[in-house]
Amino acid sequence: MMESKLSKKALKPTILLYDSGMGGLTIYDAIRRALPDAHYLYCFDNAFFPYSEKSEAVLIERAVAIVQKIAEIRPLSAVVVACNTASTVVLPALRANFRCPIVGTVPAIKPAAQISKSKTIGLLATKGTVNRPYVDELIAQYAPHCVVEKIGTTDLVEIVEEKQQSGVVDWQRLEKVVAPWQNHPTLDTVILGCTHFPLVKAELQQLLPNVAYFIDPGVGLSNRLIELFKYFPPYPEEKSINTAFCTQKSPNFPQREKIMQQWGFEELVVLDLE
């Protein structure tokens, strides 16, 4: 059985993760393995899905509104921005507005540059993420000796969301997204720079057989949280169930509710952000 990494005497932390959709569940999955005793809240901002091409101002406004609203309902021990597109923009605003630890996930340029043998790496991320100055800085800092190819895509986010809802993968659309890399002579490492993308990792491996390494988002995030909880002790909580939130009641609400229950969230609540 997995040993809890939180001290037995410590209160259980309540960790809020948010994303535009289901992608952040890949981050949640990694964190709950490391911190199985924590309480989890997960918000998917379906009213503003996809985030890929949304402006920085909109992403910041959504981040602050979502965290503010949920913090009024449940005391938060930490916030995880389980989305690369948002993390490359919203972290300073969240840290300025909330006192609990705020962590995010940004493209894993450093591990990719270290593991690649050909020193040719691919960044597969949303359109917003591949164009962020934040990402250029990461490349200049950790991969100046590498060739970094980029594919910015909104299609792949939608393909994954559809797979999560219906179980069906649109292979034709998927192949079109990665076509520029299918006959690449040296590319050996691909960074999954969007939290949705590990949900089609097997399909990507099949379409890009020459790629030896696929680097998942959120590498090391749970260790960072465990470290932070030493300095920011969790708040006591009366309510202790895992709750999922969405930002609009869509026609597929019952299916969404079922999916979230399968991931361990007992209820799905619509947040009123107006």
Verify binding: residue 198, ligand DGL, rule CB under 6 A.
Answer: no
For the CA atoms of 111, 230, 6, 84, what is the dihedral angle to 10 degrees?
-40
Verify binding: residue 42, ligand DGL, rule CB under 6 A.
Answer: no
Verify binding: residue 196, ligand DGL, rule CB under 6 A.
Answer: yes
SS3 128: helix
Verify binding: residue 20, ligand DGL, rule CB under 6 A.
Answer: yes
For ligand DGL, the binding residue among 43, 81, 109, 157 (CB under 6 A) is: 157
Q: Which is nearer to ligand DGL, 15 or 59 (CB)?
A: 59
* Active site amino acids: 83, 194
Site string for ligand DGL, 109-128 (x = CB under 6 A): -----------------x--
What is the helix, strand, coil percentage profile of the chain, to 5? 45, 15, 40
Strands 78-81 and 267-270: unpaired
Verify binding: residue 18, ligand DGL, rule CB under 6 A.
Answer: no
Contact of 207 with 178, CB cutoff 8 Å? yes
Verify binding: residue 46, ligand DGL, rule CB under 6 A.
Answer: no
Q: Is the peptide bond before 50 cis (omega within 30 degrees of 0)?
A: yes
Contact of 186 with 120, CB cutoff 8 Å? yes
Verify binding: residue 104, ligand DGL, rule CB under 6 A.
Answer: no
Q: Which is nearer to ligand DGL, 121 or 194 (CB)?
A: 194
Query: Which is nearest to 155 in space by CA: 52, 18, 24?
Result: 52
Q: Which is nearer to ligand DGL, 84 or 164 (CB)?
A: 84
Q: Which is nearer to ligand DGL, 54 or 110 (CB)?
A: 54
Query: What crossing angle do the helices spanning 171-178 and 155-166 adopt, rounded to 10°?
Result: 150
Query: Which is nearest to 180 in space by CA: 145, 211, 224?
Result: 211
Verify binding: residue 194, ligand DGL, rule CB under 6 A.
Answer: yes
How far CA 74 is from CA of 37, 50, 70, 142, 274, in Å, comes to: 17, 26, 6, 38, 19
Q: How far apart are CA 36 and CA 87, in angstroms?
A: 24
Verify binding: residue 19, ligand DGL, rule CB under 6 A.
Answer: yes
Stretch of residues binding ligand DGL (CB under 6 A), selected from 48-56, 64-72, 225-233, 249-257: 48-56
Q: Which is nearer to ligand DGL, 129 or 229 (CB)?
A: 129
Site string for ligand DGL, 205-234 (x = CB under 6 A): ------------------------------
For ligand DGL, the binding residue among 28, 49, 214, 265 (CB under 6 A) is: 49
DSSP state, residue 13: P
Q: Which is nearer to ligand DGL, 85 or 116 (CB)?
A: 85
Residues that bind ligand DGL (CB under 6 A): 19-21, 23, 49-52, 83-85, 126, 129, 157, 194-196
